[in-house]
Amino acid sequence: MPLSNEEVARLARLARLSIPDGSADATRKQLDSIFVLMTQLQSVDTTGIEPMSHPQELPARLREDAVTETNRRATFQAIAPQAEAGLYLVPKVIE
Amino acid sequence: MTSAPFFDAPVSALRRALDEKDISSVELASLFLDRIEAFDSGLNAFITVDRERALADARAADERIARKGTGALTGIPLAYKDVFCTEGMLTTCASKMLSNFVSPYDAHAVTLLKQAGTVNLGKTNMDECAMGSSSETSYYGPVKNPWNPAHVSGGSSGGSAAAVAARLAPIAAGSDTGGSVRQPAAFCGITGIKATYGLISRFGMIAYASSLDQAGVFGASASDCALLLSAMTGFDPRDSTSLDRPTENYAAAIEAPSPNPARPLDGLTIGVPDEFFSEGLGDETRAAIEQALAQYRALGASTRKIALPNARLAIPVCYVIAMAEASSNLSRFDGVRYGHRAAEYADLVDMYCKSRSEGFGAEVQRRILAGTFVLSHGYYDAYYLQAQKLRRLITEDFKRAFAECDLIAAPTAPVTAWPLGAMSDDPVQMYLADIYTTPVNLAGLPGLSHPCGFDTAGLPIGLQLIGDYFSESRLLAATHRFQQATDWHLRRPAIARTSA
Amino acid sequence: MSRSDWEVVIGLEIHAQLNTASKIFSGASTAFGAPPNEQACAIDIALPGTLPVLNRGAVERAIRFGLALGARVAPKSVFARKNYFYPDLPGGYQISQFELPVVQGGAITIWVGEGENAYEKSVRLTRAHLEEDAGKSLHEDFHGMSGIDLNRAGMPLLEIVSEPDMRSSAEAVAYARALHALVRWINICDGNMQEGSFRCDANVSVRKKGTQPLGTRREIKNLNSFRFLQQAIDYETGWQIETLEDGGRFEQSTVLFDPATGQTRMMRSKEDAHDYRYFPNPDLLPLVIEPEWIEQVRATMPELPAAMKSRFERELGLSAQDASALTSAKEVADYFQAALAATGDVHAKLCANWVMGELAARLNRASLEIASAPVSPPQLAGLLLRIADGSISNAIARKVFEALWNNEGKDADDIIERQGLKQVTDNSAIEAMVDEAIAANPKSVEEFRAGKEKALNALVGQVMKVSRGKANPAQVNELMRRRLGI
């Protein structure tokens, strides 16, 4: 079930990656070979098998509702690409 | 201690030397820092080395030693795979994306090891975002194998493995998502153990695949690994998957005297899965493994065949799950709050796309795309959900197996370290090298690799031991008995026999 | 075709911010109004390596909600990741419940409209699930860029999803109001709509009356007042009907309501077909709620509005509408019950009238909440007792109430005493005033005698005026008639 270049472009859009013009074919071919490997999964009948999303199938441990964090904005924003007036700056967000 | 120099001494010997003032922690740290300076240009095992910070750690340790307030690791130098966040220190995950990321906090494991008084020599190189089996995808260039610098170190924790093998650090921490501790340990001829999932907090370890990632340790021997592992495990309320159980002293456990010193492994049953000895396994590796099994039998263990019929699908299962989780885990790297942001962009979406495509290397982008695919509408059931179902079948195979045996033995990898670049054009070929290690991560079991021979090219071969949940003591103890009777773990590459 | 041939179908998604002290997955404070990003901790800004841990307080509030609606509290529910990129979403995914929500089913009874046309209706809930809120994008200009504040990121939300059971904007508002009252009643959400603690999304579609299949729906996002909810639905309904009647079509989509124009408009950021790639969050294990926990929570639940309403009808003899109004908010019910208790539990109807009448009107004029009413329930009760025993007329009672409101005395008796407002019932004193009024208004007397009944009112009114309202009006009337020889 080989992918089309359009499908690869759709995945890239969803993942916010840009595939440079000219490498689309190469990317698609490599992904195809990965999907060939992954398609081996379809060889097994798993009817009735419960999916396992976690190695330890335990219930969640809950945290008590208490404030434990203090303000560390200055430290966090010291490593921000662009921050001002306590805000992270990004290209204009349009709703 | 007449024979080994300090840089090649067991951690327990370093402990005695520090306590008896044969050497100070500052001297010991300097010794390793000098070795890194002298030899790492040929290995590229380290991304960041902070001499001043390391010496400050060592001075603090010396004060503690003077006050006799020491633990097993006080004043012992170590290195961290660059997946562990270290406060105030560059933490890159070997990615351009984080090449400017000075972490504002410590990983839980780092906090524990700081409290233990260890000395942080630096951060080791790895595959970018821990995605790889050769440590070649690093933004900082490939790690080279200390046994032969034309060959890979294994991965993804290749830098930590190479550093310990070359004696640039006595011990080191790594992480293992599909074999990333065990396989580089095997390729570099040292001992490495990945803990039971949930034993070491993942808080502060940059995530690759959350349900598979687990920290592990490297050392020259099981006893060195035991000391480091004991100090890193422990419940952490900040990790929902951290297990709340008493910590164990693995070092003490492996030293427990045997009632029958001639056959110290009497009563131990080692399962040998047929599936792990099928086609694809190199002849020299097969021979070395069989010889090691004979040695285990000589030590009193019995071996028996077991079946892990679903393990053959572990690679696709593991990669589907890992890539799916990774595609989501790596979304936080968007150039907004930290990390790389493209210099120029047209708008918000363009900023995202450029920052991420510039920040991530080819293999990481491939895995993000593949992970996005297996979770996307219309494919989820056939790939992701199917992988989760098979994950259960693989896990149940292990459950059945451990009803019949105490440990499982297998090769760590089907081949020895390949030449640099040999698999770079064929990612899938590289994934297949994880055939024997990935089932262990899927089940969340502990696994260990120890050296058991060399191929004709002089590259090390590793034997993998897999234990049931929380059987780290048993894994380490069995390896310790093996290492007391053999000298594979004492073999050193030339670089590790040379003084700086 | 006219508008009356169409039927609107509405379902609401309401986000109630749970009133926990800390966030749903981190220990950062939820206090409102902090400077930007000062309450965004390492987890909230999604630093690499950070991990979520679920807040017990948020789960407990979800259980309270489930119990209040007679819903199923799921013994096992799962947190998933909803993946999409947006600058106010630091992790690149929202942690939310998808396939297995914590609250499943349930229903709420609403009271729609007023007066004779009012009717009761039951609205079914599909589910309610726990999730984290996102941060905020501030659109003021920062050199042509937007500012991101992540203080709100990780705030605990309960998303409450209704079935498409509502058939008018009035029903939608009544439902939203009922839920708003309920979440405050059971103390899981402060209900502050200005601060965004209670936000509505409305799914609106129209269909020809008598037809079954649902029309194409559009979702109106982020309505933060009941008025906007009503306006937005009304506008959207009209727009959809007009569009369809003109032979047009529209896509399923998300729209925003602009309060300035009263119109809805398509969101400009047109996402390429959303594919959220939900999958169970591997950082979080399934949420398991044992029956014992549910029972513990049940033991702490207050009497719920529905139960209280039927008790008011059954035990106090109040009408369904009165009982419904008195249980429309916890604070109103608390006030009513406290006042009624202070009367010795005997004047329910009178008490209900005053709480919903004079008190409600006065609070409204002063823009006050009932919890901060200057007249306390015991003070109101003291007043009611004096009305009931005939000491004061209703007119005087209103004066006493106003005096209590202005803190002119410690209770009704004090004010009646001090201001001499006790009703005059002494026949001779009233007779004197009646005679005075007859003498002073010969014209009215003449008119009355000529058969003009209304003229009597003027004479009685004169006496009331002279007595400053203290004379018993019935008594005045009777004496006046007697004196005029009728």
Q: Please state the rounded mean pLDDT for residues C288-306.
A: 97
Taking 80 as the threshold, does the pLDDT of residue C421 lie above it?
Answer: no
Angle at C375 between CA C373 and CA C379, to 5 degrees: 145
Q: Which of B220-229, C312-321, C385-394, C398-407 has the highest mean pLDDT?
A: B220-229
Of C55, C286, C307, C75, nearest in space to C188 by CA: C55
Taking 60 as the threshold, does the pLDDT of residue B241 lie above it?
Answer: yes
**Which residues of chain B make contact with A15, given a CB cutoff of 8 A?**
327, 331, 356, 368-369, 372
CB contact (8 A) between residue B204 and residue C277? no
CB contact (8 A) between residue A67 and residue C21? yes
**Which residues of chain A make contact with B347, given a CB cutoff of 8 A?**
91-92
Kindly state whether residue B11 falls inside one of the protein's structural domains.
Answer: yes
| Model confidence band, residue C430 (pLDDT cutoffs 50, 70, 90) | confident
Region of poorest pLDDT, from B153-162, C63-72, C210-219, C287-296: C210-219
Kindly state whether residue C437 falls inside one of the protein's structural domains.
Answer: yes
Of B374, B263, B376, B400, nearest in space to B321 by CA: B374
* Helix, strand or coil, per DSSP, at residue C320: helix
Which amino acid makes up residue C264?
T
Give the whole-angstrom CA distance, residue C357 versus residue C359: 6
Which amino acid makes up residue B459?
L
Q: Please state the rounded mean pLDDT for residues B439-455.
A: 98
Of C433, C440, C447, C442, nearest in space to C480 by CA: C433
CB contact (8 A) between residue C81 and residue B328? yes
Domain with residue B422: its CATH number is 3.90.1300.10
More confident residue, C425 or C330: C330
Q: Please state the rounded mean pLDDT for residues C161-179.
A: 97
CA distances from B305 to B270, B393, B435 (A): 9, 19, 19
Residues C41 and C113 in one domain: yes
CA of A26 vs chain C CAs: smallest distance (Å): 24
Residues C101 and C140 in one domain: yes
Kindly state whether residue C364 falls inside one of the protein's structural domains.
Answer: yes
pLDDT tens readout for residues C400-417: 999 999 999 899 888 888
C-alpha B70, offset from chain centre: 26
Pick from C42, C54, C85: CB nearest B334? C85
Kindly state whether residue C277 falls inside one of the protein's structural domains.
Answer: no
Tell me which chain B residue has its CA closest to the CA of residue A89. B336
Kindly state whether residue B85 falls inside one of the protein's structural domains.
Answer: yes
Q: What's the per-residue H, E or C state across chain B? A: CCCCCHHHCCHHHHHHHHHCCCCCHHHHHHHHHHHHHHHHHHHCCEEEECHHHHHHHHHHHHHHHHCCCCCCCCCCEEEEECCECCCCCECCCCCHHHCCCECCCCCHHHHHHHHCCCEEEEEECCCHHHCCCCCCCCCCCCCEECCEEEEECCCCCHHHHHHHHCCCCCCEEEEECCCCCHHHHHHHCCEEEECCCCCCCCCCECCCCCCCCEEEEEECCHHHHHHHHHHHCCCCCCCCCCCCCCCCCHHHHHCCCCCCCCCCCCCCEEEEEHHHHCCCCCHHHHHHHHHHHHHHHHCCCEEEEECCHHHHHHHHHHHHHHHHHHHHHHHHCCCCCCCCCCCCCCCHHHHHHHHHHHHCCHHHHHHHHHHHHHHCCCCCHHHHHHHHHHHHHHHHHHHHHCCCCCEEEEECCCCCCCECCCCCCCHHHHHHCCCCCHHHHHHCCCEEEEEEEECCCCCEEEEEEEECCCCHHHHHHHHHHHHHHCCHHHCCCHHHHCCC
Kindly calculate the radius of gyration of chain B based on its CA atoms and give it in whole angstroms: 21
pLDDT at A57: 84
> Are the C-beta atoms of residues C412 and C375 closer than 8 Å to each other?
no
| Model confidence band, residue B2 (pLDDT cutoffs 50, 70, 90) | very low
CB contact (8 A) between residue C29 and residue A69? yes
Kindly state whether residue C56 falls inside one of the protein's structural domains.
Answer: yes
Kindly state whether residue B48 falls inside one of the protein's structural domains.
Answer: yes
Q: Please state the rounded mean pLDDT for residues A51-75.
A: 96
User: Which residues make beta-bridge pairs with C7?
Assistant: C207
Contacts of B245 by beta carbon, 8 Å cutoff, 6+ apart: B235, B470
* Helix, strand or coil, per DSSP, at residue C359: helix
CB contact (8 A) between residue A11 and residue B376? yes
Number of domains in chain C: 3
* Helix, strand or coil, per DSSP, at residue A75: helix
pLDDT tens readout for residues B389-399: 999 999 999 99
Residue with tokens 């010396």: B62
Which amino acid makes up residue C344?
G
pLDDT tens readout for residues B151-167: 999 999 999 999 999 99
Give the whole-angstrom CA distance, residue B157 versus residue C432: 109
Give the whole-angstrom CA distance, residue C380 versus residue C342: 9
User: Which residues make beta-bridge pairs with C29?
Assistant: C22
Q: Which two tokens stand for residue B73?
A: 């690791």
Q: Partners for B (CB, 8 Å, 3+ pairs)?
A: A, C
CB contact (8 A) between residue A91 and residue B334? no
Residues C453 and C384 in one domain: no
pLDDT at C439: 87
pLDDT at C268: 61
Kindly state whether residue B50 falls inside one of the protein's structural domains.
Answer: yes
Residues C228 and C373 in one domain: no
pLDDT tens readout for residues C267-277: 865 555 679 99
CB contact (8 A) between residue A49 and residue B389? yes
Kindly state whether residue B252 falls inside one of the protein's structural domains.
Answer: yes
Residues C130 and C264 in one domain: yes
To the nearest whole number, what is the mean pLDDT of chain B?
97
pLDDT at C476: 84
* B314, HSE (Cβ side, Cα atoms, 13 Å): 29
Give the whole-angstrom CA distance, residue B215 versus residue B144: 22
Q: Would you say how long chain A is, in residues?
A: 95
Query: CB distance from A31 to chain B under 8 Å?
Result: yes
CA distances from B92 to A18, B81, B82, B120 (A): 22, 10, 6, 16
CB contact (8 A) between residue A41 and residue B320? yes
Of B436, B466, B447, B414, nearest in space to B270 by CA: B466
Number of domains in chain B: 1
Q: Which two tokens stand for residue C151?
A: 């203080």
Full residue range of the structural domain in which residue B119 is found? 6-310+395-497
Q: Please state the rounded mean pLDDT for residues C175-200.
A: 96
* Helix, strand or coil, per DSSP, at residue A19: coil
Q: Which helix (H) or strand (E) holds C200?
A: strand C198-208
Residues C386 and C433 in one domain: no
Tell me which chain B residue has its CA closest to the CA of residue A58. B241
pLDDT at C256: 93
Cβ pairs A/C, distance under 8 A: 133
Tell me which chain B residue has its CA closest to the CA of residue A91. B348
Give the whole-angstrom CA distance, residue B53 versus residue B80: 14
| Model confidence band, residue B1 (pLDDT cutoffs 50, 70, 90) | very low
CB contact (8 A) between residue B366 and residue A34? yes
Catalytic residues of B: 81, 156, 180
Tell me which chain C residue has its CA closest to the CA of residue A51. C280
Residues C130 and C222 in one domain: yes
Residues C57 and C135 in one domain: yes
Residues C11 and C148 in one domain: yes
Taking 80 as the threshold, does the pLDDT of residue C12 lie above it?
Answer: yes
CA distances from B89 to A82, C40, C325 (A): 20, 22, 62
Pick from B320, B338, B354: CB nearest A79? B338
Domain end (from C269, C293, C318): C269
**Which residues of chain B make contact with C283, given a CB cutoff of 8 A?**
207, 210, 240-241
Considering only residues 12 to 41 of chain A, which have any Cβ-Cβ distance to chain C shorter than 8 Å? Answer: 13-14, 16
> Are the C-beta atoms of residues B25 and B65 closer than 8 Å to each other?
yes
Kindly state whether residue C286 falls inside one of the protein's structural domains.
Answer: no
Give the whole-angstrom CA distance, residue B194 versus residue B160: 13
> Are the C-beta atoms of residues B170 and B77 closer than 8 Å to each other?
yes
Pick from C51, C85, C277: CB nearest B239? C51
Residue B74: phi and psi, rounded to 5, are -60, 120
Q: Which two tokens stand for residue B322?
A: 């890992």
Tell me which chain B residue has its CA closest to the CA of residue A77. B337
Contacts of B305 by beta carbon, 8 Å cutoff, 6+ apart: B271, B272, B273, B274
Taking 50 as the threshold, does the pLDDT of residue B276 lie above it?
Answer: yes
Kindly state whether residue B383 falls inside one of the protein's structural domains.
Answer: no
Residues C412 and C453 in one domain: no
B421-458 burial: b if 16+ Cβ within 10 Å, else e: eebbeebbebbebbbbbbbbbbbbbbbbbbbbbbbeee
CA distances from B34 to B24, B29, B50 (A): 15, 8, 12
To the nearest whole number, what is the mean pLDDT of chain C?
92
Pick from B197, B348, B389: CB nearest A46? B389
Give the whole-angstrom CA distance, residue B61 versus residue C437: 106
Full residue range of the structural domain in which residue C18 is found? 3-269
pTM value is: 0.92
Kindly state whether residue C297 falls inside one of the protein's structural domains.
Answer: no
> Are the C-beta atoms of residues B174 and B218 closer than 8 Å to each other?
yes
Pick from B206, B325, B352: CB nearest C282? B325
Residues C225 and C320 in one domain: no
Residues C257 and C319 in one domain: no
Tell me which chain C residue has its CA closest to the CA of residue A79. C47
pLDDT tens readout for residues C431-458: 888 888 888 888 888 888 888 888 888 8
Q: Is A95 exposed, middle or buried, given 0-12, 13-18 or 19+ CB atoms closer than 10 A?
A: exposed
Taking 90 as the threshold, does the pLDDT of residue C395 lie above it?
Answer: no
Domain end (from C269, C299, C323): C269
| Model confidence band, residue C474 (pLDDT cutoffs 50, 70, 90) | confident
Query: Mutate which of B389, B398, B438, B466 to disrupt the A interface (most A C-beta within 10 Å)?
Result: B389
pLDDT tens readout for residues C107-156: 999 989 887 888 999 999 999 999 999 999 987 778 889 999 999 999 99
Give the whole-angstrom CA distance, residue C205 versus residue C217: 4
Query: CB distance from A36 to chain B under 8 Å?
Result: yes
